[in-house]
Amino acid sequence: MDLVGEAEPTTTTFYYDPQVDVHHRLPVRAALTTAFYVAPQEAQEARRLFDAACRSARLDQDPDLPLVAGRGVPSALVLAREWGMTDLTERLASAIDASYEPTWDDDRGEFTWGMGLDEEHPRGQFNAFLAAAEASGPGRWTALSAAPLESCPQVVDVDFPRVALRHADWADSTLRLGLAPLRENPQQRTTFRVIGAAPGSWQIAGPPGATVERTEHSLVIETPLVSTDLELTQG
């Protein structure tokens, strides 16, 4: 990781081939991304790389720099939120909103960032980092990497893009869902399933006409095609 001694790093290993023992080294600014991968494993070393990268990219000095498309700034926002760097988080988030073209596609029901690339389809890898930044918070990346996710029931067979989920989370034994249809129509209905739910009967709270049925392998939920919140509770 080019962290010999106490001097500030000036390069970062972007790729290492162990068979021929070759480092592909780049200027330390690239550590805006490589520090993302190091952080859950060696947090102190990752922070050294990240701080040096921020200074190299002037992210710690100039909040008005135009942002170029890539992984560096989005992964930097993940780490700024991971380490509770409030000032940097606010400046990066503002710059991303100003430069990366956050866009709702009403016809497809999708939210993406165009990043100034003028491409027919938004760049997947760059959008993935930005989506991760939206979901990140103090310690979350480290916690996610530290151990396998606990198994839990999953919502499947959602009729996307006709309908999407704003959120899906458990509070004790209650599954809370937020439905966001592309176009509301109370006369139409949508259906999806929950697999892995505990056996037994389940109750649903939501709009009139919403139902839940227990089958052998899943819960089948049917609800009017409206923007709504649903709660599924065992018992």
* Mean pLDDT on 148-159: 86
Residue 1 lies in a domain: no
Backbone angles phi, psi at 199, to 5 degrees: -65, 165
**Does residue 128 share a domain with residue 159?**
no
Instruction: Tell me the residue range of the domain where 186 lies.
Output: 154-234
Closest CA to 73 of 25, 118, 116: 116
* Mean pLDDT on 1-11: 82
Backbone angles phi, psi at 61, to 5 degrees: -120, -45
Number of domains observed in the structure of the chain? 2
Q: Which residue has the tokens 């006709």?
A: 162
pLDDT value of position 64: 66
pLDDT value of position 205: 95
**Does residue 195 share a domain with residue 107?**
no
Both tokens assigned to 116: 């100034």
Task: Considering only residues 47 and 105, tell me which one the structure prediction assigns the higher pLDDT.
Answer: 47
Backbone angles phi, psi at 113, to 5 degrees: -115, 125
Q: What pLDDT band is residue 234 in, cutting at 50, 70 and 90?
A: confident
**Does residue 172 share a domain with residue 127?**
no
SS3 124: helix
pTM greater than 0.85 (yes/no): no
Residue 6 lies in a domain: no
Distance between CA 188 and CA 163 in Å, rounded?
Answer: 12
